[in-house]
Structure formats: C-alpha cells, structure tokens
Amino acid sequence: MSRSRAIVQNDVALRCVAQVLLLTFTTASFLMPLPQRWGGSQAWAQEAEKPTVGIVPFARKGEVGVLAAARIEEYLRQMLSAGDALKPLPAKVIDSGKPLVPIVKEVKEKPQTPAQKALDRADTLSVTARTMVDENEDPNDILKLLKAAAQRYEDNFVELVDFTKLVDVYAQAATISLKLNDAKAAKEWLEKAVVLQPTFVVDTRKASKPLQLTLTAARQGLADKEGSNLSIDCPLAGADVFVDGVKVGNCPAQVKDLLQGTHYVQVRKPGVLPWGQVFVAKGKDGAISANPKVEEDPTSIGLTVPAEDIKAFAGSGNFQEKIFKNMAASFSRQVGANYLLYGVVSKNARSLELHLFLFQAKTKRSCALDKVEYQPTLGDLQMKTLDAEGRVRAALSTCKEVEDLPAVYDASAEAKGEAAAVPVAPPTFEQEETPLPKARPEPKPEPRIRPVPRPDPVFDNNADPYAGLLHDEDETEKKPWFKKWWPWTIGGVVVVGAVVTAIYAATRQAAPATGFTAVGIVP
C-alpha cells in the first residue's frame, strides 16, 4: 500500500511541475511584449503625425559615380526614417507618381443655387398659408401668400422636382377665392391644377360643394378643347425628359394629348446643369430642342503630373521658376507629400559635395540647404549624412529661399571659375628698351616619389552596406528596466511558482491511517 501511495504522490508531483512550467511560459510570453506594446502604440501615433517627404532621385554633376550618389541618397532616406521630423514616402511612390493608398478627396456640399433658395421660400409660404387657414386668419392675407408661393414655384420650375407642391398651392388658392366669392378666379386656379395633374381630385369629405362643382366645370372645359402633341430633342443621348414633373422617357421623347395650358419641360442627366422650358399648349403640335450644358465640377477634373517631369528638375535646378512651384505643388498633392527633397551630388578636387533643396508644398517655397562634403571614398558616410539630416530638419523652420539658379547648376559660373584658375602668361619684353636681366641657373629638380595607387573600394551588391549603422551598439543598455524582457520573465516565474505552491499546499491531503504500528528493535 505504501508503494501505491508513493506512485500516486509522484504522479501528482509531476503534474504540478508540468502545470508550473506551462503557466510560467504562458505568463512570460504574455508579459514580455507589454512594454513593447505600450511603446509601440505611442510610436505609431508619432509616426502618423509626422509630415511626409518625397525624395526625388538625386542628380549627378561631373564625374560622380552612380553607386556613390545612390548610397548617399539611400542612407539619407534611412536617416530621415529613423528621425522624428519627417516620414519619407516609398521610392516607388515618387517613381510612379501614384500614392500607395488612393487619396479620397473631400467632397464639399454644394451651396444652394438662387432657384433652390426661392423654392425653399415657396415651401415656407405654402406651410404658413395652411397654418393661417387653420387659425381662421384673414383670407386676403392668405391669398397673398399663396400667390407669392405659386409665383416662386413657376419662376424656378427648372429645379423643381415635386410638382405636387405647386398643384396643392393652386387648390388652396381656389378654396380661398371661393371664400372671397370669386368663382372665376377659383376656376382659373383649378384649371392650372388639372393641366399639371389631370388626375387631380379633391377630398369630398372635406371639400365644400362649390369647390367640387367648380372642379367639375374646369375639368369639363379642358376636355372639350383639342389637345397638343409635343416632341423634345436634345444632343445628350440618354438624358431623362420630364413634363410637369413626370418622366416621359429619354431624349428624344414625344408626349401626346397635352391639355391646353402651361406645361413645364425639364431635361436632367448626371453631370449636366438643370435645363427647362415652358410650353404653352394651344391645340397645335409643338417641338422643343433642348440645349443643356455640362456641369463643370472642379473635383472631378484630375490633372496628373507625370513623375518624369518632376524628376527632370533635379538635373536643371530651376527651383525658383513659377512652373516648377506649380508642378511640384500639384505633384505633392497627387502623391500625398508635404515636402519634396531634391539633391545633386557634385565632385571637386578634394571631396564629394551634396547640395539639397527642400520644397514645401503648402507655401510653394524652395529652400537651399548648406552643402555637405564627403570623402571621395565615402568613409565618413554615416557622420556626414547625419549632418545632412540635421540640415533638412532645420530647414523645416528656417528657410533660405532659392531666388536664382543655384551655383551648382550654373554652367557659366563654373566656366568663370575655371578661367580664373588658368595661370596668366608672364608679359614679354621684346619691345622693351631695357636689357633683360641675366637668367639664373635653374636648380636641379629633386627626384619625385610616386605615390602608391590605392585600390578602388570593392562593394558587394548583395551585402547591406547600412546594416547596424543606424543603431548604437549599447542601445539595449540604455533602455529602462521595464522595457527589458528579463525582469518581466523572472517576475512572472516567481509569481506563478508562488501561486502554484500555495495551491498545492492548501489542497494536499494527509496520508490515511493504516492501523498498523511499526516497532523497530535495535540490537
């Protein structure tokens, strides 16, 4: 029995150890990324707030190699990415002239046209008149409001969509005219309503008997007159044609048996300005030739600036020209950049020179930065590019605007400099009367020691020349303790171990009594 109890205890102990190890690794894996997640969210927010810069491929002047210019450009891109001032756009964005994510233009709500304002005013007058009727106000005042509303609807019918509003105003005016004992005016109002809407009826439960009789007489009088046919033509194929607010088809369209009276013809199509014309039917056929105009929407006009046109300025340097400023501003909006960074790498007798020019899209200003000199072998690439990054950062607040063609692009200035470097020949004395001084014996030239040529640096295209240059070796030692992984791992192991031990001690059962007593006899 004691052996069975020992086996059970060993099995329980193994299970506890396995659970402790499992909980330890789970807790450690969860606790380790916490500082990184806290810092990562903050870094992401800072990254989103940084203004963007598009780095245009650097130009080369003189005998500068392609590899040297590419190394300087790429290293500056990495320096700017590691900094907190600017966020460089990917190189393929500048090469293609298209952003990685399409820029959604904010569509502003169009302001109301004068016709729409007049129609809104007509709606207000109609509602006010109906309220005055319910409050038993003076019929003359009510009729004035209804006449003003009808006039606004009729004058601005081109943008009127619901002609039922106009018909309702006609019906209210007819009711008020009958209250004023003007049966003739009431009949005229009802005739207008039937012409626009032949199916117009009044509610017999609410309408007075005189109003019903007047409507019947108006309808009979119009039916006795000969109708008119109308044909509508327009150059826009597929445009919708409306007569009195009812769609009758697409252009060209025909309408038959129009009641004699005033009708309103409209032509509508997306992207086309509203067009309309009044047609007065008098029993004869008519024809209308519509001539709507295409609506000019500035938000739908997309002027694309080719990327090659923007890159060309890196070789010409015309940053002070108006054409560059306009094109660069359009290109910046096109790719979503706040700045454009231009650069040209030139060569002199002692070093390589990097000339940078920063363009600000918002103000259309081009800033010239102080040149940065590199060793011919780029042995100081890291330190000098760090200087260049600092000058780009400073140009965001202090700008030395480009007003003339930069000297690095001015061929005439280079020619003048070369001419000044040519030694001037000594004057001749052939025509002088004074005798020439005796020539001194020339000293013997000392033997010159030829310098041993250095081999050109060999670059491995497959190796990363920038690996490890943007980070300090002791970067991990500078982190605070709560951003390191080992304190959280040790703390997690200790906490989990203590919890498991406490649970095991609390749940452990005492060994059962067997009833046997063991007696040992020592000889």
Q: Which of 9-18, 317-326, 471-480 has the highest mean pLDDT?
A: 317-326
User: 87-96, 407-416, 485-494: lowest mean pLDDT where?
Assistant: 407-416
- Structural contact between residues 369 and 76, judged by C-beta atoms closer than 8 angstroms: no
Lowest average pLDDT, out of 309-318, 357-366, 491-500, goes to 491-500
* pLDDT of 26: 56
Q: How far is CA 445 from CA 153, 236, 440, in A?
A: 108, 94, 15
Q: What is the pLDDT of residue 418?
A: 46
Q: Which residues make beta-bridge pairs with 272?
A: 294
Q: Which CATH class is domain 49-97+304-416?
A: alpha beta
Q: Which residues have a Cβ under 8 Å from the Cβ of 400 and sit 6 or more positions away?
A: 367, 368, 369
In this predicted structure, the answer to whether residue 521 has a pLDDT above a threshold of 60 is no
pLDDT tens digits along 40-78: 445 545 556 789 999 999 999 888 888 888 999 998 999
Distance between CA atoms of 81 and 140, rounded to whole angstroms?
Answer: 77
Which range has the worst mean pLDDT, 52-61, 198-207, 342-351, 376-385? 198-207
Residue-range domain boundaries for the chain: 1-31, 49-97+304-416, 114-223, 228-297
Six-digit token string for 95: 């090469």
Average pLDDT score over residue span 386-396: 90
Other C-beta atoms closer than 10 Å to the C-beta of 316 total 12
Q: Given a cut of 60, is residue 301 above it in pLDDT?
A: no
Q: Report which residue type is found at 341.
A: L
The CATH classification of domain 228-297, taken from the options 1.10.10.10, 2.60.40.1120, 1.10.760.10, 2.40.128.20? 2.60.40.1120
pLDDT tier for residue 98 given thresholds of 50, 70 and 90? confident
User: In the chain, what percentage of residues exceed pLDDT 90?
Assistant: 40
pLDDT band of 433, cuts 50, 70, 90: very low
pLDDT exceeds cutoff 90 at 147: yes
pLDDT at 511: 52
Place of tokens 């190890």: 21
Cβ distance 360 to 338 under 8 Å?
yes
pLDDT in tens, 115-141: 999 999 999 999 999 999 889 999 999
Confidence (pLDDT) at 20: 58
- The Cα–Cα gap between 344 and 115 comes to 57
DSSP conformation class of 290? -
- CATH C-level class of 114-223: mainly alpha
- pLDDT score at 477: 47
Residues 480-499 have pLDDT tens digits of: 666 677 777 788 788 888 88
Instruction: Give yes or no on whether 49-97+304-416 and 114-223 have one common fold.
Output: no
pLDDT over 50 at 425, yes or no:
no
Q: 297 falls in which pLDDT band (50, 70, 90)?
A: low
Least confident of 56-60, 285-289, 364-368, 408-412: 408-412
Q: What is the distance between the alpha carbons of residues 48 and 37, in angstroms, rounded to a whole number?
A: 16
| pLDDT (tens digit per residue) in 374-384 | 998 888 998 99
Residue 282 CA to chain centroid, in angstroms?
A: 57
> CA-CA distance, 245 to 153, in Å (whole number)?
12
| pLDDT beyond 70 at 284 | yes
Q: Do the Cβ atoms of 290 and 172 come closer than 8 Å?
A: no
Given this model, what pLDDT does residue 50 score?
Answer: 84
| CA-CA-CA-CA torsion sign (65, 67, 70, 71) | negative
pTM value is 0.45
The first and second tokens of residue 42, run together, are 């903050």
When mean pLDDT is compared over 106-110, 234-238, 355-359, 483-487, the highest value belongs to 355-359
* 16, 147, 169, 312 from 123: Cα distances, Å: 81, 12, 10, 59
Task: Say whether pLDDT at 264 is over 60.
Answer: yes
Q: What's the pLDDT tens digit per position in 160-179?
A: 999 999 999 999 999 999 99
